[in-house]
Structure 1
Amino acid sequence: MKVLITSNGERLGRWIEGNPIVILMVAALLTVGSIHYAQTITMETETETFVDPDSRLYVEFSHLYNDRFGTQSIVVLVEGDAATSPGSLKAMERLTRQMEAVDHVLGTVSIAEMVMEVEADATGVRRVPDSQERIDEILEVLERTNPAALNAILPDRRHTIIPIDLPTYIPQESLKAVLPEARSAVAMAEFPAGADTIVTGEIALGDEIEREMNTSMGTLLMISGLLMVVALFLVFRHVSLPLLPLPVVFLGIIWTFGMMGLLQVPLTMVSMAAFPILIGLGIDYAIQFQNRIEEEFQRGGSVAMAAIETVAHTAPAVFIALIITGAGFFSLFSSSVPMVRDFGLLCLVGIIMCYISSLFVGVTIIHQMERGRNDRNVRCGLERRGKKSPIAPLIVRYVTFILCRWRIFLATALVLALVGLYADTMVPIETDMNEFIPQDLPPLSQFRHLNDIFGGEDQLNIIVQGDVIDPSTLIWMDEFGDYVARSREKVYGATSLASLVKSYNGGSIPQDRSEVAAILDRVPDHLKYQYIDGHDTAQIILEIGDAFESLGQVGIERLTNEIDKDLLWFEHPPGISVTQTGEMAVMNSVIGALTTGRMRMTFIGLVLIFFILLVIYRDLVKAVLPVLPMFIVIGWMGGVMYVSGMMYNPMTATLGALILGVGSEYGILTMERFYEEKEKTEDVMEALLTATGSIGAAIVASGLTTIFGFSALIASPFPMTSSFGTITVLSVIFALFATFTVFPVLLIRFEYWRRHEATVKVRASNLLLMPFRRLKD
């Protein structure tokens, strides 16, 4: 296969050299088409990006819970000495009346509504009393008759909330459109002095996070681009067009956007991280082609032959590196999380587009510009003077130093890798989503302030199907909720359809089904929404506070398993089925899949790379060589994460595939150049030093450009992005270090071993044939 790839390289080089206009016209058409299709890309944040739509988990969550009971709330927090004053309650009434007229709002709950209900029962007039004494008297009645409902929105007399409930099945745009309406309604409600208001909740926090992401990512990408320019000027200035790799790779990124739109690959919070990776890999492809063509120019051949030789020798090597890189990303397809698979697909498409851009457009531009410059030099009688890279001699000296002390370096690298692989199993997993966003973000502080007062809002949801308004079913729901709240320490409370019926029937459940139906007819629709759908589906809500902070992913999984056992033990009435689902079940499953599956993805990637190299080269040594350094780098990174106290998150969980994708190509390109030089000399050491000196400058330029670009991400205000940037930079640094430390040692030792084995075989063959030769003589 390697021979086939190489044999076609020269023909492709002659075609590229002879058809510049065709190539540039096709590139222009691809760019126009990509811009068109890029406009069709959709941003996905729905459940489908976390859970496979064909899975049982998704079906239960989407159809049993989300479509029937799922709600999100905009929360208005009212605090201060006047939180329960007549003026505040009247402002709450104005606020709720205005918000209940807004599209998609299911309803609101406030102490004003509860006070007016009691006042209406007592006086026949539904209004907020003008007297503070009367309000305090009503609140004392509610504390005796309905303490759970009151404490949920009024834990003390200085703090209360007004939840504005919306269904989760409506589009995100519709959810966010209600937010300015809520802020406007709060302002128009005119709360009195001494009653401060804050509009908070998950919707308000999410809106601010998205705004902050858009602002910070634009700034970070601009800084990243500037740092890449600096890196290219520092380490790639020996070529005539040191900044050319940047527009070439950005052209590949534009084509990638177009392919995303054409293939309908959505953009998710994980797949957004693919673009820095693609810029790093695409820069490498462009630099390798440009470095080789400059090297050919310096040898004094014609411009045309320089382009042909570059494509003939570099295109196959880079293509093999692309295949191996793709194998690393292909391992992400083993994930059960759709957005991780989309990330892998996006990376695969992106590296192909960047390779095509570098090979056809990059080589064509350099060839045409050099041909024009060469023609001018011929007319003026000038000779082209190439510049040598100042880095190459330093790399040769460094590699020579390592090879002279190879035993201690190799032993140290292996020991650190094995220790790191063990330490990686003890690296903790960050499961608190609030830790992924800027900690000084005002809406986050407000959201945490809300949770400090009212507790977290995480829930476990149990869907009950059957004749849910039958008294026996309601009694079972009531008793099961009480049992779980008493027996499970981390379940702080349970509410259900039974709780709702009891609150409207003096604290008891009727014995007749028709009485239950009559009671439910009196309950406002927005209060019933969370507890009953039709007459055959109901919900039990188990309150578990801020679960990810208090329990973590493992603790939540253990609790849900215990609840499943309780559902089996606490036998439900005949004809009733129960299912545990909800947002917490989905997020817990997703975080577990994102983080605990990382070792499997890494192992699959390593095995794929090994077998692909074996097929390409049909040589066990060449198949093993690029895999071993990346295995060592993965171990080093695990050790660094453990020692530094870093944690895995949904972005850094792809670390293994990232290292395989970015680092393996350095080894492939070095190995390819080594065997190319080995064909010219019998001295293996000379071939290795020539190869590292020639291609090393390009690899360092590519690596440093990637490092400089990703360094900007470390300054991100988002801890998840900053952590991803830090880990990416460290991974590239370690991959570069291994390429010039571990890889040369392995390469030369395997080659010496191969020669020794060949010599032994020849000697053994001669010894076996010696008697026959004597007989012949």
Structure 2
Amino acid sequence: MSTPSPSTDDPADHPGRPEHRSEPGRTSEPEHGSGPDRRSGPSAALARMVSTVSRRSGIVAVVALLVTAALGFGTTRLEFTTGQDNYLNPDSQVARDNVAYQSLFGGQAMVTLFTLDKGERLEDLFTKRNISQFRELQASLDADDRIESVITPLTALEFTNNLVTSPDGNPVNSPAGKILLGAQRRDPDPVSAQRRLADSVTTLRRMQAIPVAERVYDNPAWVSFLLRDNTGAIRKSIKPFFPTESTSQMVTRLRGNASLTTEGQAATLAEKAASERMFDNATTMSTGAPALLRDLNDYLRGGFVTLGGISLALMAGLLLVAFAVRWRLLPLGVVAVGLIWAFGLAGYAGVPLSVVTISGLPVLLGVGIDFAVQLHSRVEEEAQLARAGHPVTAALAGLLPALSVATVAAVLSFLALEFSDVPMIRDFGTLLALGLPVIVIATILFLTASLGLRERRRPTPPKDYTHGPLGRTVITLGSLPRITALPLVAVSVAVFAVGIVTDGTLKIQTDPEKWVDQQGQVIKNINTLRASTGSASELGIYVQSPNVFDDATVAFLAEFANTRLAKDPADLLTASSLVTTISFMMEVPNTTVVLPTGQDVRLGYAAAPPDLQRATVNLAHNALNLVFRTGSGSLERQAAIVDDIRDTVHPPQGVRATPSGLVVVGTGLLENFTKNRTQLTYFALVGVLLMLLVWHRSIVRAVLSLVPVLIAVGLSSMIAWLVGVDLSPLTAVGGPLVIALGSEFTTLLVLRHLEERRRGLTPKEAVDQTAARTGRAFVVSALAAVIGVAVLAFSSLPLLRDFGLLVALNVAIALLSALVVLPPLLIWADERGWVHQPRQDDPGPAVDRTGPGLRQHGDMWDAQETRSKAGASRPRPMAGGNRDETSAV
């Protein structure tokens, strides 16, 4: 039993409460466990800190205001990003290739779809008015430096027209005439060569049937000649711009490697330019990946505030309804300030706000409320049940070690995300690992100041809340008999193992189109484009050569395009490049394949309109561009094609062929995401386990803390498998978040159990006492943590909505497992001496505490009993704990 030391506080600091005992039954010293005097050393420092902070509330407020202003300014440095830097590591080969590709041929494309009215033909698209509109549209877009190139349906016809006409009017002297005659001469098969000649004669007759004066773009006959081959089908060379008999499309290539803002503005410009013009016999619709990313970025800016507002409203409702304490909304206020600190610090650290990191706001709010409720409730407990003379000091002494351990465990779980190969996942981990400690610090500081001031001025009256519905609920949840301990361990291991197996079968959704609101206009437009033309994406290949017009380079690209179109007809629908335009023009049914020469392509380049030249050839950097329109296959299927291209492409010596573009960026995300997704959960588990081993210096305590967590992690995969949901980048990495919150709860429960055991309670009594005294805090904080994740279900983005629903369920399972599974495990292990090792200075058997249903041992009860009967002033030790007390944990 300890020798009491006098109070370190001046009674004058507490007017109306002489020697801190103006309240009946409230002791002059904070209640604590038995052992040496706790008012020397750490507890004395805590007492001085609390006293100083509460007495200097004005100074604390000013300092807090200055810090908030300084860190709050950092929020202005937060940037919203939806570009490839969120998906690809800047130093990865895919990212470098994409940057190079965009610098050569421009960025992503906006596609304007022209859908013909019912009964109209493609030839009817080229009226005088429409031709004028096409030219105005192209000129207005080309004049903007945010646009790289514009290829309208008219541009495609102009290219064909330039190929078949010559300055002297003789078709034989046209670029097409020279190319076709050269192919006939090079054909090694005489029969094939004769068929080529016959096809050329047929083409010449069709052309000569139209007088020279009538060879204009508003003449349907001339348009039909330019548009169709000798079989009546749309020419293969211009199929990318006329994908079906009822549709045509304009491709507006945006400036490459532009900022997100610039790209969004360019997308809006392309949409507006097309929508402002009315076309005869057709309707228009513009869409593309730039519009998708723009709308996603716009949502992030508005959604960030919206989700924050919903979170605050739900948290306020929870605290008002379930947290029956004085100043019940205080945790919300202090955590709100902590969020400003956290996101301000994130702004200074350069953490971007992406479609993933935006979810950090409600998550941090929920976790922050969780911690704040625990501390606030402990202060109320010390004031109402323990009648501590310094309830804030006692609460900090008892809870601060546990909060510290829980915070470190959560941070380690979040830091496991740093092992991800996806930048936005790493940013999410950084934001949470950086934000949580800041919020905890703000919570401790502001709750200490506020509640310390409150207790000095208006001490909390005694009240026994242990028989309330929340306390009884927690007691009931943890009432499984000790005989269930070993079966629960077996079940947890089995559930975790089954979860590992089912996790490997889950489908991962990494297509950004599926992340956003499927009822949004951009997605509707993309779906319309895909349904009308069969494609809404593209795969680019850029070829670099010392001479882009040499025979070897041209032959390689032509043969490569033909091979891939034949090998993957359902996935690679058309090929568009200067080389393929010439190569497809040379094709004649039932003839030998003859590849174009470098001179053929040079003739084609000279005949191409300027925008088409920029889109297909970069002479300054000796590069050719090849674009495949891709089908509607899954990203995994497209990834297989990209991998096959990389494995099988064999360009001539000195020539490089590199896949890039939108599809390659998507497959790069898929590869990065799947590479070590499952390992992130294991890293979090190992990190938390090692930390608990270091703190507890006991394998049993560390393992007991993780048993409920294993159940939650395993069930998370099993639930996803049973429901059949596709895992998004957020949902799939929910494991570390579940581990963080689950280990926090188990840590608080285990350390509180040890605290009660050191007061002399039996294992069963310690479990019940923990449930009765902390049940309210655990239920409210658990609900706060769940709500913090579940609020994302209000998002219109499936990426966030699915994460909110699934991970909130997993977090609820983790917290419920802690309350149901951990108590019988603690009793069973503690009765065998594996949890609490009594020390020589531990008190004797417990006796009834003051108040109904409570327990208190030896000197604590005696101190109060003596005061009431004999007026003795022997102080009671504090109900809390400190590092000395928990060092043996």
> 2: CA distance between counterparts of 1:756 and 1:719?
44
Correspondence list, 1:189-268, <5 A: 189-192=277-280, 194-216=281-303, 218-237=305-324, 239-268=325-354
Match 2:618 to one of 522, 530, 533: 533
Match of residue 78 from structure 1: 114
SS at match of 2:580: helix
Match 1:563 to one of 645, 663, 677: 645
Match 1:169 to one of 257, 267, 272: 257
> 2: CA distance between counterparts of 1:7 and 1:312?
11
Q: Where does the alignment leave 5 or more consecutive residues of structure 2 unmatched?
A: 1-35, 170-210, 589-593, 839-889
Correspondence list, 1:342-381, <5 A: 342-374=427-459
8 Å contact from structure 1 (residues 491, 542) kept in 2: no
Match of residue 402 from structure 2: 317
8 Å contact from structure 2 (residues 104, 621) kept in 1: no
Deviating more after overlay: 404-413 vs 608-617: 404-413
Match 1:625 to one of 695, 704, 717: 704
1:107 aligns with 2:149: yes
> 2: CA distance between counterparts of 1:669 and 1:512?
75
Match of residue 297 from structure 1: 383
1:11 aligns with 2:45: yes
Correspondence list, 1:565-580, <5 A: 565-568=647-650, 572-580=651-659
Match of residue 361 from structure 2: 275
1:333 aligns with 2:369: no
Change (3 A) 1:411 1:432: same
Instruction: State the aligned residue count.
Output: 738
Match of residue 62 from structure 1: 99
Counterpart code for 1:274 = G
Change (3 A) 1:126 1:640: farther
Correspondence list, 1:681-700, <5 A: 681-700=760-779
Cα shift at 1:360: 0.7
Match of residue 74 from structure 2: 37
Counterpart code for 2:605 = L
Match 2:561 to one of 461, 481, 486: 481
SS at match of 2:243: coil
> 1: CA distance between counterparts of 2:760 and 2:379?
22
Counterpart code for 2:781 = S
> 2: CA distance between counterparts of 1:574 and 1:368?
80
Match of residue 182 from structure 1: 270
Match of residue 766 from structure 1: none
> 2: CA distance between counterparts of 1:470 and 1:540?
15
Change (3 A) 1:351 1:635: same
8 Å contact from structure 2 (residues 506, 720) kept in 1: yes
Change (3 A) 1:91 1:453: same
Counterpart code for 1:35 = G
Cα shift at 1:46: 2.8
Tell me the alpha carbon deviations over residues 392-435 of structure 1, each in whole angstroms, 9 at most, x when there is no partner. 12322332245465565555554444333322222221233222
> 2: CA distance between counterparts of 1:535 and 1:301?
83
Cα shift at 1:282: 0.6
Deviating more after overlay: 660-669 vs 394-403: 394-403
Tell me the alpha carbon deviations over residues 460-481 of structure 1, each in whole angstroms, 9 at most, x when there is no partner. 4333333232122111111122
8 Å contact from structure 2 (residues 539, 660) kept in 1: yes
Counterpart code for 2:374 = Q
8 Å contact from structure 2 (residues 114, 248) kept in 1: yes
> 1: CA distance between counterparts of 2:835 and 2:49?
43
Match 1:26 to one of 58, 63, 80: 63
> 1: CA distance between counterparts of 2:84 and 2:542?
18
Q: Which has the larger radius of gyration?
A: 2
Cα shift at 1:177: 1.9
Cα shift at 1:748: 2.0
8 Å contact from structure 1 (residues 498, 509) kept in 2: no
SS at match of 2:352: coil
Cα shift at 1:692: 2.3
Correspondence list, 1:400-439, <5 A: 400-401=479-480, 403=482, 405-406=484-485, 411-439=490-518
Counterpart code for 1:154 = F
SS at match of 2:405: helix
Cα shift at 1:132: 3.9
SS at match of 1:463: strand
Match of residue 32 from structure 2: none
Cα shift at 1:68: 1.7
8 Å contact from structure 2 (residues 516, 798) kept in 1: yes
Deviating more after overlay: 276-285 vs 388-397: 388-397
Counterpart code for 2:82 = T
> 1: CA distance between counterparts of 2:420 and 2:456?
49
> 1: CA distance between counterparts of 2:398 and 2:107?
60
> 2: CA distance between counterparts of 1:25 and 1:128?
79
Counterpart code for 2:378 = R
Counterpart code for 2:333 = P
User: TM-score, length-normalised on structure 2?
Assistant: 0.77
SS at match of 1:24: helix
Tell me the alpha carbon deviations over residues 95-142 of structure 1, each in whole angstroms, 9 at most, x when there is no partner. 222222222222322222344556674788899644444434443369
The structure richer in helix per residue is: 1
> 1: CA distance between counterparts of 2:751 and 2:255?
58
8 Å contact from structure 1 (residues 106, 166) kept in 2: yes
Change (3 A) 1:456 1:400: same
Tell me the alpha carbon deviations over residues 313-340 of structure 1, each in whole angstroms, 9 at most, x when there is no partner. 1111101100011111111111122221
Cα shift at 1:735: 1.3
8 Å contact from structure 2 (residues 539, 629) kept in 1: yes
Match of residue 90 from structure 2: 53
> 1: CA distance between counterparts of 2:217 and 2:98?
43
The percent identity for this pair of structures is 24
8 Å contact from structure 1 (residues 413, 742) kept in 2: no
Change (3 A) 1:420 1:502: closer
> 2: CA distance between counterparts of 1:299 and 1:143?
93
8 Å contact from structure 1 (residues 9, 313) kept in 2: no
Cα shift at 1:292: 0.5
> 1: CA distance between counterparts of 2:836 and 2:351?
51
SS at match of 2:458: helix
Match of residue 594 from structure 1: 673
User: TM-score, length-normalised on structure 1?
Assistant: 0.87
> 1: CA distance between counterparts of 2:453 and 2:441?
18
SS at match of 1:626: helix
Change (3 A) 1:170 1:214: closer
> 1: CA distance between counterparts of 2:421 and 2:695?
30
Change (3 A) 1:728 1:145: closer
8 Å contact from structure 1 (residues 153, 160) kept in 2: yes
Counterpart code for 1:662 = L
8 Å contact from structure 2 (residues 131, 218) kept in 1: no
> 2: CA distance between counterparts of 1:311 and 1:294?
12
> 2: CA distance between counterparts of 1:753 and 1:203?
64
> 1: CA distance between counterparts of 2:84 and 2:695?
40
> 1: CA distance between counterparts of 2:831 and 2:629?
63
Cα shift at 1:18: 1.5
> 2: CA distance between counterparts of 1:281 and 1:562?
46
Counterpart code for 1:366 = L
Deviating more after overlay: 41-50 vs 355-364: 41-50
Tell me the alpha carbon deviations over residues 546-598 of structure 1, each in whole angstroms, 9 at most, x when there is no partner. 4xx52442x33332232223214xxx323223334444333213223324522
Change (3 A) 1:438 1:662: same
> 1: CA distance between counterparts of 2:458 and 2:230?
89
1:97 aligns with 2:136: no
SS at match of 1:670: helix
Q: Where does the alignment leave 5 or more consecutive residues of structure 1 unmatched?
A: 378-382, 760-777
> 2: CA distance between counterparts of 1:400 and 1:687?
13
Counterpart code for 2:109 = S
